[in-house]
Amino acid sequence: MIRGKVLKIGAIAIAVLALAAIGGLVFRKQLTHVFVASVVKSNMAKPSPFLEDGLYAGLFGTGSPMPDARRAGPSVGVVAGTHFFIVDAGSGSTRNIRLMNFPIGQAEAILLTHFHSDHISDLGEMELQRWAVGNTSPLDIIGPRGVEAVVEGFNLAYKQDDGYRVAHHGPRTMPPQGAGGIARPFDLGPESDAAVVVLDRDGVKITAFKVDHRPVAPAVGYRFEYKGRSLVISGDTSFSTSLIEHSKGADVLFCEALNASMVKAINDNSASASTKKITEDIPSYHSTPEDAAKMAHAAGVERLVYYHIIPPLPSSILKNLFLGDAKKYYSKVITMGDDGMLISLPANAKTILVKRLF
């Protein structure tokens, strides 16, 4: 009798627990739905960082090929009025475009400084993200001669994936003619400081100019000008008189930087012969923080921002050590670039504003 009651009570308890579990599962599903919807709405409702007319630069990636959890590969977004461009496509930088609320669907072109893998590895993903919002024409990929082969390679690599997406989502959502990129090569003269205007419309002027990244050639930097404001992106270069010449009077110089003593420490502690050879070689075709400071001073720029930082800096404490003697050579403001940083140059003004978007 008692055993029967116990069994009955046990059955009731199991039923109650089962109902509670089912109810809990339903509640968790509802809670998950509400939470996800809230996050999506919050992200979609983020205000545009470009409410004021001007020239903006967003750091999508400030790192290098060396593994760094805090930095994606080199990439800078530039907004000039209503125009949006991307300079280089470093590994992992595409996700930061979304996190910073830059309008990837409105990107007009990607400008490549050179064809090292760490500057082109996210090219296909950027093209795909832009296509996914319904663009009906490929993305322009601007670069020196050789860009044709790069674009052809990415288009071929993504060809099957493009077909899958059209089949799955339909041609109205993913117009087949909008996939991939189209190469827009430019030629530079033989002079070491050769330059060419690659775009000039609606008050936006973009000039490509040679830099010294030998044996990598061609390699270029870019100068952007809009409504009395200007910024320069160095690309990869050692000390370059051409970079000085084409940065003259700019509001901001974004310059790569490699701390040779830190790289030497990696070299000294490496057990790999190939790593030793690479870390022994790379300082020869990059700028040190001091080099960048000297170039910024000679060009008379108003602010120097380091990006494409080599090697990784696992702690913010190391930032001052990374600078070395840079402040001896450049007395104005030096900023250590971080992923998510936005530099704003309001039109026809002198102010330079810096904020972090994540």
Catalytic residue numbers read 118
Contacts of 321 (CB under 8 A, 6+ apart): 259, 262
